[in-house]
Amino acid sequence: MQKETFSFIILAAGKGTRMKSSNSKVLHKVAGEPIISLIINKILSIKKKILIDKIVVVLGRDSQDIKSFIEEIFKGIKIVIQHEQAGTADAVLSAKKIFRNYKNKIIILCGDTPLISSKLLLNLTTLGASFRLGLSGFKSLKPFGYGRIVLNSSKQVSSIIEEQNASASQKKIDLCNSGMYVSESKLLFSLLSKVKFNTKKREMYLTDIIYLANKDNIEIGITYNDEIDSLGVNNREGLAMAEKEMQNILRKKAMEKGVTLIAPETVFFSKDTKLARDVEIGPNVVFGPGVKIGEGVKIEAFCHLEGVTVKKHCTIGPFARLRPGTVLEESAKIGNFVEVKKSKINKGAKVNHLSYVGDSDIGEKVNIGAGVITCNYDGVNKNKTTIGKKSFIGSNVSLVAPIKVGSNALIGAGSVITKDIPNNMLAVERNKQVTIKKRNKK
C-alpha cells in the first residue's frame, strides 16, 4: 500500500502564563527532554508508516530560545512566527502562506503535550483517510480546563465548547478535546477565515472550526484516545503529572527489556536512558540525561548518574554520584560515597569508598583506597590525573593534578602527591610518626 503524506503544524506560540516561568513553556522538560522535542521526535518516529512532508512549528515573537533549540537539534523544521498571541486559530493562520494550494492533509498538534503517543498520531492519520476533518478526543473523570466535545442526538461531533464559555450542564460533559486535529488543507484555511474573535477572551479559538464545519454539513471524524496521551501541560502541576506518567511508561519499558527494578516507583529515568538486559537497579536511583548502562550492571540504592557510559558487569553504589563524561569500563567498581566526574575508570578498577575522582584516567585493575581525592582544580584550570594499571593508591591520598602515576606503583596512605611517580615505584609523602612516653596525669 502506498504511504500517505501528511504535514504537521505544532502550536507553540502561547505565552504559557500559567507556568509562571521566565522560560518558554515548551522548553520545560519531562524526563529530561524539552516538551517540544518529545513531540517532534514522536512525529519522526512514525516515519516508517507515513510520509512526512513539512513539520511547521508556530512560535511567538519572543521565542528565540525555542527557535535556537529546534534549529540546533533538528533539521528541516519550518518555524513561523505568530506576531500577536491572538489564540489557537490565529496561530494556525500564521502558517497559511506555507500551505498555499497544498494538496495533502495537515495534522495540528499543541506544543504542550509531552506524552503524545505514536498510536494517537497514527489514529489521526487513519481518521484523515476517511474524513475531510477529524479530531482526537478522550473521556476524563477530571475534564476541568479542557474544551468539551459536544455530540448531537445522532452522536456526531457538532462543536467544541471551551471551559470558560461552557454552561453548567456542558461542564458536566466528560468528552474532552485533545487539541489535535487532522484536516484537508484547503478546508482548514477556509474554515479558519470564518473564525471570529471570541469576545470574552479577545482570542480566535481553533475549536470554532468544528462548529463551522458542522454548520456546512461536513461530517467530522473523531478518534478516542487515552487521556494521558493528550495531557496538556498548562502549569507546574500539569508538568508534575506529565513527569509522573512518563516515568511510569519508562519504568515499564525498562522492565519489559529485562531490567530488574526493585522498587520501580522510586527510580527516575531520562527519556534517553539506555539499559541493556539483566541490569539490576536498587531503590531511589536517578538517571539524568545521556546514560548508557551495559549488560549485567548492578546499581545499588541512592545513586545519581548523568552523562555516563557504564560497560557490562560493573557495580555502582550505594550512594554514588557519576557525573558527565564518565566511562566505566567492564567490571569496574564504584562504591559508596564516591563521586566521579569526566573520568575513565578502566577494566576491573575499583574506587570503593569515599573518593572524588575528576578529570582522570584510572588504569586497569587499579585500587583506589578509601578517601582518595584527585585535586583536579587549581582555582583556574582543571588538570588531569593519570594512573597506570595495577597501581595501588593508599587511603586518604591527595593526588594534586596534573599528575601521572605509572603502572604497578604504590602510594602510602595519607600522602599528598605532587610529583609524577614512575612505574613500579613506591611513593610516601608523610611526616615520620613520633611515639613518645605519655606524661602521667597528677
Residues acting as catalytic residues: 353
Candidate residues 162, 184, 243, 306; the one interacting with ligand UD1 per rule CB under 6 A = 162
Q: Whole-number minimum distance, CB 112 to Ca ion, in Å?
A: 5
Tell how far CA 332 is from the center of its chain. Answer: 28
Interaction of residue 229 with Ca ion, rule CB under 5 A = no
Scan residues 115-144 and list those touching ligand UD1 (CB under 6 A). Answer: none
Q: Which stretch binds Ca ion (CB under 5 A): 134-142, 229-237, 250-258, 330-338?
A: 229-237
Q: What is the CA radius of gyration of the chain?
A: 29
C-beta of 204 vs 281, nearer to ligand UD1:
204
Give CA–CA dist 351/247, Å, rounded: 31
The residues near 319 (Cβ < 8 Å, ≥ 6 apart) are 301, 302, 303, 336, 337
Scan residues 179-218 and list those touching Ca ion (CB under 5 A). Answer: none
Give CA–CA dist 140/152, Å, rounded: 19
The residues near 334 (Cβ < 8 Å, ≥ 6 apart) are 314, 315, 316, 317, 320, 322, 328, 340, 345, 351, 352
Interaction of residue 232 with Ca ion, rule CB under 5 A = yes
- Choose from ligand UD1, Ca ion, none: what does 206 bind? Cβ within 5-8 Å by kind: ligand UD1
Interaction of residue 212 with ligand UD1, rule CB under 6 A = no
Q: Whole-number minimum distance, CB 204 to Ca ion, in Å?
A: 16
| 386 and 361 Cβ atoms separated by less than 8 Å | yes
C-beta of 66 vs 291, nearer to Ca ion:
66
Give CA–CA dist 387/21, Å, rounded: 46
Q: Which stretch binds ligand UD1 (CB under 6 A): 203-211, 323-331, 367-375, 424-432?
A: 203-211
C-beta of 112 vs 243, nearer to Ca ion:
112
Interaction of residue 58 with ligand UD1, rule CB under 6 A = yes
List the one residue out of 87, 69, 1 whose CA is nearest residue 29.
69
Q: Is 432 exposed, middle or buried (0-12, 13-18, 19+ CB in 10 A)?
A: exposed
Candidate residues 85, 118, 140, 165; the one interacting with ligand UD1 per rule CB under 6 A = 85
Q: Whole-number minimum distance, CB 264 to ligand UD1, in Å?
A: 28
Q: Whole-number minimum distance, CB 154 to ligand UD1, in Å?
A: 23
Candidate residues 90, 112, 162, 300; the one interacting with Ca ion per rule CB under 5 A = 112
DSSP helix/strand/coil, 245? helix
| 79 and 59 Cβ atoms separated by less than 8 Å | yes
Q: What angle (nearest 5°) sits at the alpha carbon of residue 146, between those of residues 143 and 149?
A: 85
List the one residue out of 207, 210, 50, 190 whose CA is nearest residue 131.
210
Interaction of residue 358 with Ca ion, rule CB under 5 A = no
Q: Which stretch binds ligand UD1 (CB under 6 A): 106-114, 357-365, 390-398, 418-426?
A: 106-114
Residues counted in the chain: 442
Q: Which stretch binds ligand UD1 (CB under 6 A): 109-117, 283-291, 340-348, 384-392?
A: 109-117
C-beta of 87 vs 317, nearer to ligand UD1:
87
Bridge partners of residue 24, in order along the sequence: none
- Choose from ligand UD1, Ca ion, none: what does 326 bind? Cβ within 5-8 Å by kind: none
Cell of 435: 611515639
Q: Which stretch binds ligand UD1 (CB under 6 A): 110-118, 183-191, 312-320, 331-339?
A: 110-118
- Choose from Ca ion, ligand UD1, none: what does 306 bind? Cβ within 5-8 Å by kind: none
Interaction of residue 391 with ligand UD1, rule CB under 6 A = no
Interaction of residue 27 with ligand UD1, rule CB under 6 A = no
Burial 96-110 (b: 16+ CB within 10 A, else e): eeebeebeebbbbbb
C-beta of 61 vs 253, nearer to ligand UD1:
61
Relative orientation angle of helices 185-192 and 208-215, to the nearest 10 degrees = 100
Candidate residues 205, 211, 268, 287; the one interacting with ligand UD1 per rule CB under 6 A = 205
Give CA–CA dist 318/68, Å, rounded: 39
Candidate residues 117, 118, 126, 234; the one interacting with ligand UD1 per rule CB under 6 A = 234
Interaction of residue 232 with ligand UD1, rule CB under 6 A = yes
Cis, peptide link before residue 143, omega less than 30° from 0: no
Cell of 345: 575508570
C-beta of 164 vs 381, nearer to Ca ion:
164
Interaction of residue 31 with ligand UD1, rule CB under 6 A = no
Candidate residues 112, 245, 306, 359; the one interacting with ligand UD1 per rule CB under 6 A = 112
C-beta of 238 vs 394, nearer to ligand UD1:
238
Q: Whole-number minimum distance, CB 231 to ligand UD1, in Å?
A: 8
- Choose from ligand UD1, Ca ion, none: what does 223 bind? Cβ within 5-8 Å by kind: none
The CA-atom distances, in angstroms, between 356 and each of 148, 168, 224, 300 are: 56, 62, 53, 18
